[in-house]
Amino acid sequence: MIGALEAEWIKLRSVRANLILIIIALAIPILLTLLIAALAPFGGATLEREVFGITVITPALVAAYLCGVLGVLGIGQEYRHNTIRVTFAAQPNRSVVLAAKSIVYGTFGLVIGVLSLALSFATASICFAVRDLSFEVVVTPMIGAVLLCVLMTLFGFGLGAVMRQPAGAIPVFLIWPLIIEGIVSLILDSVDESLVRWLPFRSAQELVNFTDASGIPVFSRAVSGLYFAGWTAAVVMIGWWLVERRDA
């Protein structure tokens, strides 16, 4: 197992696409935070909690989705370039390979989540100090954002294992929450707005919720996190099962 972990760590840090994606996952939230904190017309009736959420928490969603793309590449690239055959030849026990990939990429999702939040927080603090503004630090959405990065990474990994090709898995991963769930939520909302909370990615967003102003009936933060974790586990298990039974 140690050898498999070391091999996955080498793959992660030596593949150029992974490094570029990691840089983007850290840079875009910082850029968004900088633009919002420096230019947004905060003041007046704007609550300090909302200011913190908009400038620090919301950009973390970008990092979470990019973590999911990283998870897809974690296994999809090997199938795309047929290096998965070499991997399975070196370690015939496929479960060991999949476990190593899950641990390495899940851990890196955690690291990206922590770093992106820390850098966005530092950027916002500097900008607000210059503008003589303040915000209220809300810890629970920050923890939720880090957990979301981990879950998104594993969800992407599971989807990559199911579809095997990044060219198909990445669009599905992005279109599902951004377009399909948006359309489905409109349909469900016309029937019963409380049904929207059963959509996996809509529920996942509650992990980073910093305001109760939406008025939409939703699960609590903890229940939403467990619900999305269940979806993530299901996708990973399906992908794991398929990898065990399909030819490389």
What was the pLDDT predicted at 248? 62
**Per-residue model confidence as pLDDT tens digits over 146-165:** 999 999 999 999 999 898 88
3-state DSSP percent of the chain in helix, strand and coil, to 5: 85, 0, 15
**13 vs 93, which has greater pLDDT?**
93
As a whole number, mean pLDDT of residues 211-215 equals: 59
CA distance 161 to 239: 5
**Per-residue model confidence as pLDDT tens digits over 14-71:** 778 888 888 888 899 999 999 988 887 776 556 677 778 888 888 888 899 999 999 9
The closest of 68, 59, 72, 46 to 208, measured between CA atoms, is 59
**Per-residue model confidence as pLDDT tens digits over 225-243:** 899 999 999 999 999 999 8
Using only C-alpha atoms, what is the Rg of the chain? 19
What was the pLDDT predicted at 222? 86
**58 vs 188, which has greater pLDDT?**
58
**Percentage, residues of the chain above pLDDT 70:** 93
As a whole number, mean pLDDT of residues 188-206 equals: 77
Question: Measured between alpha carbons, how far apart are the two ends of the chain, in Å?
Answer: 20
What was the pLDDT predicted at 94? 84
CA distances from 12 to 26, 27, 242 (A): 16, 19, 23
